[in-house]
Each structure stands twice: as structure tokens, then as C-alpha cells.
Structure 1
Amino acid sequence: MPKHILQVNQPMFETQLDRMVSEKVTEILNRMLDAEADEITGAARYERSCGRKAYRAGHYERDLTVKAGKLSVRVPKLKGALFESAVIERYRRREESVEEALIDMYLAGVSTRRVDDISQALWGARMPSQTLSDKLRKVYGDIDAWRERPLSQAYPYVFMDGVWH
């Protein structure tokens, strides 16, 4: 019985896998947003109901950068009620973990312009260097507050100095 060797085109497989993950994440987010709209309106899409509190008025596309890449989600628009999603914060364009990863890159010594290039390569979305600089101001403010906090008690420490040959 001959043995068949299965060969996998690794780059093609990874590309297809990435695409499948992005599509599934987009589908799940869209369903969650629709479920939120159903809850706010008091009725499902196209449902006739006496208890309806608001009406759907279409949707708009919104880009969101997550670990799975850059996604385009459909955010419902409503008549008679304000749609505020618990799934996606208003005006947020990037998932928090993506922003944390970009800040970690900078703190590890990568320049803001290079972080922009890396974010484009990893997630398909740019992080302008000015946006990163604005976020870093807050991080540095937190670091400075921690560094300059009052020390209310004595802390033991060991100070060493030496040369390695």
C-alpha cells in the first residue's frame, strides 16, 4: 500500500486561516450588535410588535482593529432611541489589547514611526505616531505619579557596585 504524503502550502494555509478567523470574528460582532439593537428596540428585525420602543434605520460600516486584524462591522442605526453598544465603545477604533501591545513596543525601544509600520503589518491598520504619542503622555503621567509618590515608611535595600571582568 503506497503512503501518501500530504504537502501543505504554509503561507497559503496561514492566509486562509487568518481570513477565516477575521470573518468569524466579524460575524460574531455583527450578531452581537444586532442582538443589542433588538433589545433596545424591543423587537427583532422586521418584527411587528405593539411593545416596540424604537425602529431600525439601517446601519453604518465601522472599522475596528482587533487581534484578528482590521474588521469592518455593521453598526445598527435606530429611530426613536440612541444605540449605545456595550460590545464596542463609542469612538473606539482599536481593541484595548492592540493599544497595549503598541505601547509595549514603544516602551521596549521601538520608535513611534516604526510602531506605525509594525501595526500596519500585523493588523492591517495604521497607528499614527501622533496618536501613539498622545496615548504615551497618559502612560508617562501614570509612571511619573508612581515614581513621585510619597514613601510613608522605611524600606530596606541593598546597594551594590562592581565591575565584571
Structure 2
Amino acid sequence: MTEDRLPLAELLAKSGDGDFLRTIAESVLQIIMEADVEGLVGAGRHERSGERTTWRNGYRDRSLDTRLGTLNLKIPKLRTGAYFPGFLEPRKTVEKALVAVIQEAWIAGVSTRRVDDLVQAMGMTGISKSSVSKLCKDIDERVHAFLKRPLAGDWPYLWLDATYLKVRQ
């Protein structure tokens, strides 16, 4: 079974001053995943049980970008079936604010290299040019859908033509 309490003294001893919150966040998320997998498997780690449905099969590493920095998580693997935590989105950046900033920068005409500098200034590890393009693909699809929409019905318009001359008196 997983521990019910988080050993804060151990975490404080392991980490430096700046990494303390990030280490706590990693540990809390790891404990949540372990408890979730225990319920899915039907038995705790290294525990024998008659109601076990499957077995654990190691871990896979996954990094999670947050405001605290990049969290390095170990997602438990199962022999049969699959487990993916609900708080992570598969193959997507979790921070919606980061995605919104990247898309706004792209709309404003900021180059992909400058977007990488912007992401690093926000405290993340950086982002590749291809990742920026993939994130902004959604915007392209919406713009193309807007441009290709059918125009049915009457669309009244007003055409104005004027000449403005600035003269001195």
C-alpha cells in the first residue's frame, strides 16, 4: 500500500530551497498515480491478493511543464491493459495558458525562434519550431473554415470613395 502521509522532512532534505515546491508537486502527483494504479490492479505494490486483475510492469518517464518548472513523473505501466493518469493529457502540453501565449505570439507575427525564447523566459525548458507549428495548426484550421464558409443570402454593402486633400490657407 502507498503511504498516507507525505514525508516532508525527507523532501526538504533531498531538495534545495528553490526546488522544494517542485519536488513536493512531483511527490504528490506520484502518490496520486500510485493510489490510482493500486485500485486498478486490485493490490498494492509487492502485495499478493486474490482480487488482483493485472500486474505492474515498470514505469515510463513523462515530463510535465507547470508554473513550478518541469516535473519529471514516472507513470506506472501494466502488463495487461493501460493506465494513463486523468490529470495529464496524452501527447499535449498541459498548461493551457502556455498554449494560449504561443498562439497569441504566432498571431502577432512572432517568429518560432522568438517563441522559443519567450517560453524559456516563462521558466520552461523551451519548445521546438515544429511544436509551435503543431500548436498553431488549430488556428490555421479555424481561419480556413472561416474563409471557405458558404455565403448564402443577401449581403448589403456600402461603397464609399473619397479624396482627402490637406491644403494650407
Relative to structure 1, the CA distance from residue 34 to residue 147 in structure 2 (aligned partners, 3 Å threshold; closer, same or farther) is: same
1:55-83 CA-partner distances (Å, limit 9, x unpaired):
12332322121233211011112223322
More deviation, 124-133/153-162: 153-162
- 1:11 corresponds to: none
- 2:87 corresponds to: 87
- 2:142 corresponds to: 142
Alignment partners' CA distance in 2, 1:53 and 1:115: 46
Higher relative contact order (CA 8 A, sep 6+): 1
Unaligned regions of 5+ residues in structure 1, if any? 1-14
Letter paired with 1:69: G
1:5-49 CA-partner distances (Å, limit 9, x unpaired):
xxxxxxxxxx95x63442333223212221221122122223321
More helix as a share of residues: 1
- 2:5 corresponds to: none
Alignment partners' CA distance in 2, 1:160 and 1:123: 50
Alignment partners' CA distance in 1, 2:157 and 2:61: 56
Unaligned regions of 5+ residues in structure 2, if any? 1-15
Compare CA radii of gyration and give the structure with the larger one: 2
Letter paired with 2:133: S
Alignment partners' CA distance in 2, 1:159 and 1:39: 68
More deviation, 125-134/24-33: 24-33
Kept in 2: contact 1:69–1:122 (CA 8 A): no
Alignment partners' CA distance in 2, 1:90 and 1:76: 15
Kept in 1: contact 2:103–2:136 (CA 8 A): yes
Give the alignment's TM-score, normalised by structure 1: 0.71
Relative to structure 1, the CA distance from residue 79 to residue 137 in structure 2 (aligned partners, 3 Å threshold; closer, same or farther) is: closer
Kept in 2: contact 1:65–1:95 (CA 8 A): yes
Task: Compute the RMSD of aligned alpha carbons.
Answer: 3.0
Cα drift, residue 160 of structure 1? 8.0
**What SS does the aligned partner of 2:122 have?**
helix
